[in-house]
Structures are given as structure tokens and as C-alpha cells.
Amino acid sequence: MADMSPLFRSKGPAPRDRLVTLIGKPGCHLCDDAQEVIEKVCGDLGVPWEKRDITEDAELHAQYWEQIPVVLVDGRQHTFWRVDEGRLRAELTGN
């Protein structure tokens, strides 16, 4: 696929068709930092995002407690602990 002309490569869904989910908890400074990055990137690209609280969801708590904040893109884990703005932007734009 790397040898294909850019005209024929699939770029995947448009940014506005993606969904970013931040999984964290209140009082978590890393979660606050992650939210700032998500708000900036998603705001720039027009990507919807949501915030989920692990203290209100036993399944999320069991799955992600040791990794918060966790960022999902379209329901798949993108990163945890620290959110890299460039990496998130690249994931959402297909670059």
C-alpha cells in the first residue's frame, strides 16, 4: 500500500466521524492534562469527544484503573498516562 498513489490510498474516516474517549477520574492531574490536549486537538479538527469516569463504571475501573488517563479513538485504546498532541492529531487525520 505504501507504493500506491495517494489518490488511491484510503485515508479512513474523516475526523468529524471519529470519536475520542477520555477515561479518567476526578482529581487526577494527568487526566486534566490529557483533557487539555484532547480539547485542543479535537477542537482544531472538529472531532467529537467524551469523558468517562472510572469511579462510576465498574467495568472501566477493572479494565483501566492502573493506566488512567486512557484515551480511546473509536473505541480502541490509543494511549495512556500521557497524551502526545502530535500522535493524537496524526491518528485522527490519518497522517
pLDDT of residue 69: 98
Contact between residue 25 and residue 55 where contact means Cβ atoms under 8 Å apart: yes
Rounded to the nearest integer, the mean pLDDT of the chain is 89
Contact between residue 69 and residue 23 where contact means Cβ atoms under 8 Å apart: yes
Mean pLDDT of 57-83: 96
Residue 9 has pLDDT above 70, yes or no: no
pLDDT of residue 17: 86
Please give the model's pTM, rounded to 2 decimal places: 0.84
Residue 51 has pLDDT above 50, yes or no: yes
Q: Among 62, 66, 85, 80, which Cα is nearest to 22's?
A: 80
